[in-house]
Structure 1
């Protein structure tokens, strides 16, 4: 169980976008009828060229690269303009620097394990509980598997299972590859958020929102792999507008939207604005959903008078 939780922790920035994608890819005909503007299903290209941006002044350059936190092994994306920008950089900036396993377990125990004495299943309405237990049975998991967890962390953990069953590997994420490259080059690595902060974004959501998130995860679980395939393909093809629709479609609840996307982008924009006052070249890699849509990091920076340019390659 704890190994699964540790894997799930690494996917916190990803999971809502993945579930949201599933709702728009499970049945293209139905989706077309109910979501006329939903992007078409993308095909994974032989040569992935994800979108890349740059913000610069006389002595400071910040490259901004949208990432996918989990991929299938063997996908090539670290080349051409992306590699060139990374090679020019002195520092790597990512969402969070993962602590070691011992520290991770302590953080999970402190934050993600429910302390109320009420099991997860007992928090669910009868019909939702039946659907939840049926989903666990399909995954060959005992019904009590996630009883000690808060609802949001159960959602993250459960969503990971069909992805791994379909060939995705938590060790093949973009950040892990970039971090390995940076360590080989003795680059400075900066985390925009702490592990406690990332867990806290979810853990501080009202319990009814967490339960709604869990119910949504269960209802779309069978479609998660197809949704992920589409999201990765849109990312690889640099279809930024389509990616924004997919990754942010599950955030209709204002609390979720503000907590997981808009507010974080606003905080990061403050960080970027301050960092532009210091010389240097940085490669900033954050979840692709943060660099797409009307509340994107670029839009937050634009409101501050800082112009981010899309690099064509």
Structure 2
């Protein structure tokens, strides 16, 4: 967690995991104090938009013309994909866009790693703020978030899917390593794990990471003009590295301090 502050505004920026093992204790110490002090919570998606995500996925994910996975993936990647799919039932992937298959694979890997969105940071924060009668807002909509993937060019989507398939055998271990680094507050390991995935597909990194980080940092800079205390909670991968939100804010002349 980082803090950006001036004379009358405090904005805490908390790196989250969207899904966690049930019972994970994340809201202690300075995080708990920031939750208590904040007048409002800002997430990637407000609760009403999160509720819309499933419907948006169903509308955007289908292909116009089905395409067999055997025609999309090279032999080694296809074999790894088939083995992963066999561990939990078919995805009906032939009828889905490449990005949608990748999303479903990520969700299944999280389930197999015993992670649950209901135990994630966003779910806990939303419950806390709503119980206290404090507003909960979002930086994006469900539609705009999924359109980030839908509008990736076909070659980039195929590269992402191929990489996900090739790495399917280690997906659960990779998620556990990412979660472990987050629990330790190990930003160097977080950055290395995230970069290993996205740096191989630069167009995806720009659309899914860098451009969003810039938009969110600009939102924070604008919000600094209004007094109050805000907790901004977004995926931890958006807060690390030279194009993470804290680094981008510092490049704009704002003092940002890591506090947890």
State yes or no: 1:90 paired with 2:39: yes
> Per the alignment, in what secondary structure is the counterpart of residue 72 of structure 1?
coil
* Mapping 1:126-145, distance limit 5 Å: 127=75, 130-131=78-79, 134-135=82-83, 137-142=85-90, 145=92
CA shift digits 1:263-289 (9 cap, x unpaired): 111111111111000111001111111
Distance 2:47 2:95 in 1: 23
CA contact (8 A) 2:102 2:164 kept: yes
Question: Cα gap change, 1:86/1:103 in structure 2, threshold over 3 Å: closer, same or farther?
Answer: closer
Unpaired runs of 5+ residues, structure 2, are none
CA contact (8 A) 1:245 1:293 kept: no
Distance 2:202 2:74 in 1: 27
Selected match of 2:10 from 61, 73, 78:
61
Deviation at 1:119, TM superposition (A): 2.6
Q: Which has the higher helix share?
A: 2
* Mapping 1:209-288, distance limit 5 Å: 209-252=156-199, 253-288=201-236
Deviation at 1:104, TM superposition (A): 3.8
CA contact (8 A) 1:121 1:147 kept: yes
Alpha-carbon RMSD = 2.1
* Other-structure match for 2:128: 181
How many pairs are equivalent? 259
> Per the alignment, in what secondary structure is the counterpart of residue 73 of structure 1?
coil
Distance 1:242 1:137 in 2: 28
Unpaired runs of 5+ residues, structure 1, are 1-51
Deviation at 1:202, TM superposition (A): 0.8
* Other-structure match for 1:299: 247
Deviates more, 1:219-228 or 1:59-68: 219-228
> Per the alignment, in what secondary structure is the counterpart of residue 167 of structure 2?
helix
Distance 1:137 1:279 in 2: 50
Deviation at 1:199, TM superposition (A): 0.1
Q: TM (normalized to structure 1)?
A: 0.77
